[in-house]
Structure 1
Amino acid sequence: MTSFTSPLPPVQSPPQSAVRLADVSRTYGSGRTQVTALDAVSLSLAPGSFTAIMGPSGSGKSTFLHCAAGLDRPTRGSVWLGDTEISALKPKARTLFRRDHIGFVFQAYNLMAALTVEQNVTLPLLLAGRRADRAHLDHVLDAVGLADKRGRRPAEMSGGQQQRVAIARALITRPHAVFADEPTGALDSRTGRQVLDLLRHTTTDLGQTIVMVTHDPVAAAHADRVLFLADGRLVGRMDSPSAAAVADHMTHLGEW
């Protein structure tokens, strides 16, 4: 008698890209007043990578972040986070996807003053109607150096500690990627360096994908690579950057 066995389901390999933009353009206005903020940008960022985005004022850095993170929809092209084309999602679905799968760290910490560290960190889970995994929460708080400060409120903490809370909040949902917009802009140089070291740590030790928009060559030097924007277009890339090399390249971009 011949026996038959059901075929095993195919093994799903992890996505080759954590973040992928394909021919992404974003324009505002129409006719003579139309402005092209992004112009046919294509790139692919690997999982667990730390990428800095730099460019002169008006180069399209903020528009890039908004489109890549699903805060805005491109006029043309597609944006993928993992296996999901977020640019094809309707606004409500895109909002829910951001909440569950994307982390954000901004220059302003955006913490709730009445909440403790632990409550601020777990707020995204509360809004999603999900319970915190205590082991993961402990792991995240320990990773950002706040394990002994979970009961404090923002007013009782330094700026650097508050930014650590914001980073922990971004990590708590196990996001596909964390987008950081000038995360050290409000910090002194020493505290800023500590925060950048922490972001570096999240990629090397936690495998987290980080995309950081910055104007600071020293901040950019903490990344694996720097991508340069000018007039809405990708115009250069630097791997294993140094602050001096980034600053020199930015000088030439200002003249470009």
Structure 2
Amino acid sequence: GGRQGVVGIGAINKGALLPAGVKVSNPIPTWGGDDPETVDEAERRIPAFLRHQDRLVSAADFSDITERTPGVDIGRVDVLPLFHPDRPTTTSAGVVTVMVIPKYDPLYPDAPRPNKLFLDTVCAHLNPRRLVTTEVHVRGPIYKRLWVSVGVNVIAGRDIAPVHDAVRQAVRTFLSPLVGGFDETGWPRDTQVDTNTLLAVVARVDGVQSVNEVQLGLETGGALDSIAMQGLELPHLVGISVASGSARPLDTVRGTTPPGDGDSPRLFPVPVVPESC
């Protein structure tokens, strides 16, 4: 049934093929519902399958086979040859790390992150297809929490609020791990976030006459010209402010961000098994 079959606890209360009087309930959430691929997507996968024969040898093989993992909706796959997630600064022979990002995440829509079940599913799919000499790690991204404050001048005669909303959405989309970057395929790894690039994105928004200032910062400290991304790190825009005239101070922007990640409800923390494979 696709993604509509993924429901929460207690959402299932009947079965069309069951006899009368039988009650149905689901004490745990359902999972594994996947939208069908299109004919064009299937046609693109045929030559890839003929090339790799369902074996993990090259980086392209890892990418193609990971995307075909059944039971999970994968929005992005990055293959890092010779990279060990626990030793990111050294070259590790025979090691391949696969970074996966879910296509959907209701808790963190702007920064999707795989849970342990997601990672285990991908790992179980890759393990029998790898070479015996290859050590494979399946991990999610490591998000760096960012705050942005922008000051703009709106073209005379335009409504200010819609333009400000468009600026917020443009910056949020540009930093997205799934549709961000200039090629709109997700923010590229090992690519720093800098104020000059964000200024260019804001300047292209319809209704913006000029950009006065762009401030960029982390959870603490002052404004930075750039923030580096290394290894599995990707940006997560937690808070953004857009104002007419001068940009608001970053401390003020951080103070208006709700506790947590800014785009998710407050959750009660409980001990869990580390989400790695």
TM-score by length of 1: 0.23
Higher helix proportion (structure 1 or 2): 1
TM-score by length of 2: 0.22
Q: From the CA coordinates, give the structure whose radius of gyration is larger.
A: 2
